[in-house]
A = this chain, B = another copy of it.
Amino acid sequence: MKAAVFHGPNQPLAIEEVDIEPPKKGEVLVKIAGTGLCRSDLHFIEGIFPWPAPSILGHEAAGVVEQTGDGVTSVQPGDHVVFAVTPSCGVCRYCAAGKPYLCSAASGSHMMKDGTSRLKLRRDGRLLFHFLGISSFAEYAVASEISIVKVRDDAPIEKLSTVGCAVVTGVGAVLNTARVTPGKSVAVFGCGGVGLNVVQGASLVGAWPIIAVDTVNNKLALAEQFGATHLVNSAREHPVLKVHEITGSGADFAFDAVGDVDVLGQAFDSLDRGGTAVMVGLSPLGAKYAVDTMSLFNDKNLRGCAYGSASIHHDIPMLVDLYLAKRIKLDELISRTYPLEAINEAFDSMKKGEVARAVITF
């Protein structure tokens, strides 16, 4: 198969022929229909987070089951599936406590669970490392059964790639993590793929006002389309002051969908007493945010968020239902599609802030 191979930080991904082994016990081979480019992938490509090379990155994807390994019971060939960045084993202490988004089976391992790789370069037979158990920048991917979620097959599968990462994270941060309720005020900092989903999650639950903050006007225009009621260009206006002005007393909820400590500070400072700031974005290793502890005495909260606090087998099919019911948008998230060969160009357009999501289709 063809795949985009990561050969080390700050090098373009190389389109190469790769051999992929059939799925072993508990594993599934999926033909990728679409795979989104997430900023986290970029962090790995840029070396902000380390990942061994050569490897195949990519973790936001959907496709069709091609083949199943022994013992796989939840899917069969032909099923439409979405990859979950965090698997759900169902039996670890986190899954069992209702926190499957912290599933112990999620590992930062570079291999499949049995410690081996299913991927090698055809040209020299060298092993390739896996990525988060997914490695979707390729025509096919082998994943553990617990990392894939079956979805209804009347939804266009190539449009569902974003559901397993940006959508479940952003909408989940509102529904599950923060549990925003109708009429509460929400400020969303950063209107990329995740931030737009925070906005549409807030819209779905009847929050008001929904204040979108970004430095790029076309992202703000998108945010309006996704349900934002107020737009703040933080390159031109002080976002904290604007949020206080719009809400009167500060926001009930503020989301950092950028993953930057300064943005997190703006989110936290935008809160009303008793408000909750949610860090949705992934921040660089070692980043620290200095919380004013007196503000905690005002019942302010700084809420972490792992993968939208999602229960994948509940939330991912639900999001597909909501999409088909036209209660959430997926098509509009995909600003542009690219063939696999143009993946570096697709990352460039992300870096330039030109796209909500760029998606590779096959």
Contact = CB atoms under 8 A, between A and B. Distances in A.
Contact of A297 (B288, B298, B306): B306
Interface stretch (A51-59, A66-74, A93-101, A145-153): A93-101
Contact of A99 (B97, B99, B279, B299): B299
Given A93-B249, A99-B274, A274-B94, A298 B304 contact: yes
A287 B249 CA distance: 23
A102 interface: yes
A233 interface: no
Given A94-B274, A273-B94, A283-B294, A306 B299 contact: yes
A207 to B, nearest CB: 14
A295 B298 CA distance: 23
Closest 9 CB pairs of A and B: A296-B304, A299-B306, A288-B290, A283-B293, A279-B296, A302-B302, A300-B304, A287-B293, A299-B304
Nearest to A304: B296
Nearest to A285: B294
Given A264-B293, A282-B297, 14 more contacts: A94-B274, A101-B299, A102-B274, A177-B299, A259-B293, A273-B306, A288-B290, A289-B291, A290-B291, A291-B302, A297-B306, A299-B305, A299-B306, A302-B302
Nearest to A305: B299
Contacts of A283: 293-294, 296-297
A295 to B, nearest CB: 7
A301 interface: yes
Interface string A288-326: 111111111111111111100100000000000000000
A289 B290 contact: yes
Interface of A: 93-94, 97, 99, 101-102, 177, 249, 259, 261, 264, 273-274, 279, 282-283, 285-306, 309
Nearest to A299: B306
A101 to B, nearest CB: 7
Given A273-B102, A289-B290, A291-B291, A302 B296 contact: yes
22 contacts: A94-B273, A99-B274, A99-B299, A101-B299, A102-B299, A177-B299, A279-B293, A282-B294, A282-B297, A287-B292, A287-B294, A288-B290, A290-B291, A296-B302, A296-B303, A297-B304, A297-B305, A298-B304, A299-B309, A300-B304, A302-B302, A302-B303
Given A273-B94, A274-B102, A289-B291, A301 B299 contact: no
A251 to B, nearest CB: 13
Among A273, A274, A288, A296, max chain B CB count under 10 A is at A296
